[in-house]
């Protein structure tokens, strides 16, 4: 049996219909269904489970995150660490992220925020973009499943791309920087900085004034990692001073972003409501069903969370 906690109870019929197609033998129940027999739950598909609930399932064999980032699951102090935790990274997820990053980078290059504000005022604000997107080097912090696909798609647009990760990568057309020792050299060459890092203790608060000071003046920022990585007042101050020229921010510490937050109305920021990449339920069900089937054959589970690394 699979217990689901993702998308609200109203999403259960869709989950059940998708799993009926991809894993016909699998019973799918809502996590807090009063009739759920906890001893029968072998798999859980969750986004932000109630702390302690996963630990209360005595026959749990694998936990599937409903997203690629599983920080809202690992935040549970009672998380059963010996049960494998699978991040949700189907091809549709990386594709959607790549599309979002390309859109965000092009929106910064073509000053989409400026045009939206002018349209709202019915103002014919004719201007010439000062550069083309392929004249601006994009640096991606985090070259994992998401960052690598985004890098490939940007390269496909003819945009120069670099990446920074803990370990060095070899991706055609992408300059790889690795580790803390190479971070500042990487930042110094980023005309647009994309953050695709996971939420860990090391990445908490990294998008702040000291990092922005390392970027070329007038750099753009695309933040799609997690809200705990940014200091919003520092982003606004860097935009006001011209150190940053524009930002696209998809993730926030408090979601939904409170209506009174000044980020909403800043002329340099495009706010998006944590939509960069969420694969359809059908695609996620297909991914989970395939993983359960492979697990049943004794094969390894994909995209496992590593407790020692924290991502």
Residue span binding ligand NAP (CB under 6 A) among the ranges 10-18, 49-57, 63-71, 102-110: 63-71
Q: Which of ligand GLV, ligand NAP, none has residue 202 at its interface (CB below 5 to 8 Å by kind)? A: ligand NAP
Q: Is 198 among the residues that bind ligand NAP (CB under 6 A)?
A: yes
Short-list 305, 283, 278, 284, CA closest to 62: 305
- Cα(first)–Cα(last) distance of the chain, in Å? 27
Residue located via tokens 């608060």: 205
Q: Is 102 among the residues that bind ligand NAP (CB under 6 A)?
A: no
**Alpha helix (H) residue ranges in 188-273:** 209-214, 232-241
- Going by the DSSP 8-state scheme, the letter that residue 260 receives in this structure is T
φ and ψ at residue 134, rounded to 5 degrees: -80, 0
Q: Is 196 among the residues that bind ligand NAP (CB under 6 A)?
A: yes
Q: Is 142 among the residues that bind ligand GLV (CB under 6 A)?
A: no
Per-residue binder mask for ligand GLV (CB under 6 A), 22-61, x = binder: ----------------------------------------
Residue 170 Cα distances to 137, 148, 159, 175, 288, angstroms? 18, 10, 17, 8, 29
Catalytic residue among 137, 166, 183, 274: 274
Stated length of the chain: 311
Q: Is 198 among the residues that bind ligand GLV (CB under 6 A)?
A: no
Catalytic residue among 29, 113, 226, 281: 226
Q: Is 69 among the residues that bind ligand GLV (CB under 6 A)?
A: yes
Q: How many CB atoms lie within 10 A of CB 25?
A: 8
Q: Is 247 among the residues that bind ligand NAP (CB under 6 A)?
A: no
Interface with ligand NAP (CB under 6 A): 67-69, 89, 97, 142-147, 165-167, 196-200, 202-203, 224-226, 250-251, 274, 276-278, 311
């Amino acid at each position: 049996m699979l217990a689901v906690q993702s998308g609200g109870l109203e999403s259960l019929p869709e989950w059940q219909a998708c799993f009926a197609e991809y894993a016909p033998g699998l019973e799918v129940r809502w996590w807090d269904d009063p009739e759920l027999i906890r001893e029968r739950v072998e798999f859980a598909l969750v986004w932000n489970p109630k702390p302690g609930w996963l630990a209360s399932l005595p026959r749990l064999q694998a936990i599937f995150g409903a997203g690629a980032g599983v920080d809202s699951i690992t935040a549970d102090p009672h998380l059963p660490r010996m049960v494998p935790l699978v991040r949700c990274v189907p091809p549709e997820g990386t594709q959607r992220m790549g599309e979002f990053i390309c859109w965000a980078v092009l929106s910064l290059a073509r000053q989409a925020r400026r045009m939206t504000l002018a349209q709202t005022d019915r103002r014919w604000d004719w201007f010439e973009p000062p550069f083309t997107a392929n004249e601006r080097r994009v640096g991606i912090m985090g070259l994992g499943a998401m960052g690598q696909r985004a890098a490939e798609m940007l390269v496909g647009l003819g945009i120069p791309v670099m990446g920074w990760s803990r370990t060095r990568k070899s991706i055609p057309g992408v300059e790889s920087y690795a580790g803390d020792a190479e971070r500042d050299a990487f930042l110094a060459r980023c005309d647009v900085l994309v953050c695709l890092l996971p939420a860990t203790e090391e990445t908490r608060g990294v998008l702040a004034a000291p990092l922005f000071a390392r970027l070329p003046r007038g750099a753009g920022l695309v933040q799609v990692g997690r809200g705990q990585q940014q200091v919003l007042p520092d982003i606004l101050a860097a935009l006001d001073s011209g150190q940053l020229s524009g930002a696209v921010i998809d993730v926030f510490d408090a979601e939904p972003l409170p209506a009174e937050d000044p980020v909403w109305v800043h002329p340099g920021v495009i706010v998006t409501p944590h939509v960069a990449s969420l694969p359809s339920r059908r695609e996620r069900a297909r991914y989970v069903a395939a993983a359960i089937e492979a697990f049943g054959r004794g094969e390894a589970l994909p995209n496992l969370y590593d407790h020692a690394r924290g991502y």
